Amino acid sequence: MAVQYPVIGHWFSRPNGALFEVVAVDEEDGTIEIQQFDGTIGEVEIENWPDLLLVEVSAPEDWSGSVDMDPEDYVGAKVGDMPKGFHDPLAFLDKL
């Protein structure tokens, strides 16, 4: 099996099926920062990367794993509804 190099934005699967994305590579510290599908942030030593037996995979279609919302939080919202000012982030400042 060829070693999969850590590339920011790429997704990998562990042998147990757990998915994660590489979010940062710090060559000075020798670490790779990863984000699990459930949103948990972790860190892997660069020297240990080849030992993880990873397979590069496509990004999951269901991106909601890392979003801290339950299905009940979506009740009442119509698909495509956006709050006023969504397209203008500065529109929210005066409402805080």
N-term to C-term CA, the chain? 53
Look at the block and give the residue holding tokens 């860190």: 43
Nearest to 10 by CA among 39, 35, 40: 35
The tens digit of pLDDT for each residue in 17-36 reads 889 999 999 999 999 999 99
Residue 12 · residue 19 · CB < 8 Å: yes
- Residue 90's identity, in one-letter code, is L
Q: Which residues of the chain have pLDDT under 50?
A: 74, 85
CATH class of 1-59: mainly beta
- Residue spans of the domains in the chain: they are 1-59
| pLDDT value at residue 48 | 93
Point out which residues pair with 56 in neighbouring strands: 12
